Amino acid sequence: MSQAAPHQVLLEIRNLNKNFGGLQAISDVSMDLPAGVITTLVGPNGAGKTTLFNMITGHLVPTSGTVHWLGQSLNGIEPWKIARMGIARTFQDLRLFSHMTVEENIMTVMERNSWLWQTGADAVRKRVDEILEETGLADKRTERAVDLAYAERKFLSLARIMASKAKLWLLDEPASGLDPRSFDRFVALLREYAAKGVTICIIEHNLDIVIQLSDRVAFLDQGKLLAQGSSDDILKDPHLAAIYFGERS
């Protein structure tokens, strides 16, 4: 994976708006996601966080505003093409390929095209082994995704995104419900890939997770970006805390 210069801005969001027939879901949001930085998106339920992700991945078309990835506009490009440009995401409900094995889940992500004969089969196999080791799923490789335990499924979800060679990871509540030991392993993996230059953006509700994981925090409420900055700045702001916990001024 070629290294981007540390902290070079890879994803630029400018004045993004999304209107659903009268409901303003996202309002004039501008954000930068730099390489090697873990940014967490926080905010109350319904703030528009997943909507924002959907507009980056191409599942929703913005009403106005731009999203630029590596200098190229993503407007109007289909989701699968955006995925091939190096942007990958996980889902809150995981959406693993349930009837396929762990190994197949990872392999299929690595198979760019679906031709019968794949070049570099050895390299693929090596990488699959590596990923299985890193995520601790090596002894589950022939288990079907639907048969895995909860934590294992979360790691498989992460394994898929690791296999995708994506440079931007959009993670939707990836660590929720993990026991402390798994959680530490998870954080370590994310930090490792961030150090390699991957841009990571996480949607998270659990503030402990936010504190441990984030380099930067962006606070979204009712579709507006209220604040962004270092995690210390944002999390210590009493005004934002009030909004988060539901007491509004």
List of residues contacting another protein (CB under 8 A): 57, 59, 79-80, 83-84, 88-89, 91, 94-100, 104-105, 107-109, 111-118, 145-146, 148, 153, 160, 164
Minimum Å distance from CB 166 to another protein?
A: 9
Nearer to another protein, 35 or 102 (CB): 102
CA quadruple 63, 65, 67, 73: dihedral, nearest 10: 90
Rounded Cα–Cα distance for residues 138 and 249 (Å) = 51
Least Å from the CB of residue 116 to another protein: 6
Cβ nearer to another protein, comparing 58 with 223: 58
Among residues 72 and 230, whose Cβ is nearest to another protein?
72
Residue 239 tokens read as: 């005004």
- A 10 A CB-CB count for 62 gives 23
Q: In the complex with another protein, which residue's Cβ is closer, 56 or 225?
A: 56
| 246 φψ region: left (φ > 0), alpha (ψ -120 to 50), beta (else) | left
With respect to another protein, which residue has the nearer C-beta, 129 or 143?
143
- Shortest spacing between CB 179 and another protein, in angstroms: 19
In whole angstroms, the minimum distance from the beta carbon of 67 to another protein comes to 16
We find the least distance from the C-beta atom of residue 20 to another protein, in angstroms, to be: 11
DSSP letters, 149-166, are -HHHHHHHHHHHHHHTT-
Per the CB < 8 A criterion, the answer to whether 198 and 36 are in contact is yes
Single-letter code of the amino acid located at 247? E
